[in-house]
Amino acid sequence: WALVKDREVARRMTKFVELNTIGVSKDSQLRAAKVLGAVSDGYDVGGGGASRHRLFDFGRRKMVERWRMLREAAAASGAFSLPAETSGQCNFANETAANNPAFAWLRCDREDVEDCAGFLRGHKILTRSGNQFGADPRYVRVSMLDRDDAYDIFISRLASLK
């Protein structure tokens, strides 16, 4: 639900919801709304208890851990580098926090490798080449969002490359 003063904005919002719920059953929509309500309730003052059980806190912990693993693997291999870690103000948590984005830019520092994506593909690591994003082919974009078992295999393979 939303209350807006501008009738045109309200009309566009209604059309957006209408178009984006075509083919989605009412039951699925109600279940999704219930889940979102439970997530939201976990962040109410006094609601939700320990932060370890809250969705966004879990997500932050998971991304911090994955970035730590990736930095360690890149350092262990000696063949890769990552951008310097940065931080910023998190308005949601009202604190300064390290940035741990969903994708990482990994650079292949080996002199004999000009196509990092091709090099990694030869070692059973699938990435997206920097070429696809207008960047140097020595860079690749790595997804940090895969399942735990797949991410662990990726880290193990990356750390083993010299």
55-160 maps to CATH 3.90.1150.10? yes
| pLDDT tens-place string over residues 15-60 | 888 888 777 888 998 999 999 888 888 877 655 455 557 888 889 9
Cβ(82)–Cβ(104) below 8 Å: yes
Tally of CB atoms within 10 A around 106: 25
Strands (E), the chain: 80-81, 87-90, 95-98, 103-108, 128-129, 139-143
Segments making up each domain of the chain, as ranges = 7-42, 55-160
What is the Cβ-side half-sphere exposure of residue 160, based on CA atoms within 13 angstroms?
10
What's the pLDDT tens digit per position in 80-133? 999 999 999 988 888 899 999 999 999 999 999 999 999 999 999 999 999 999
User: How many residues are listed for the chain in this entry?
Assistant: 162
Query: pTM for this structure?
Result: 0.75
pLDDT at residue 45, rounded to an integer: 63
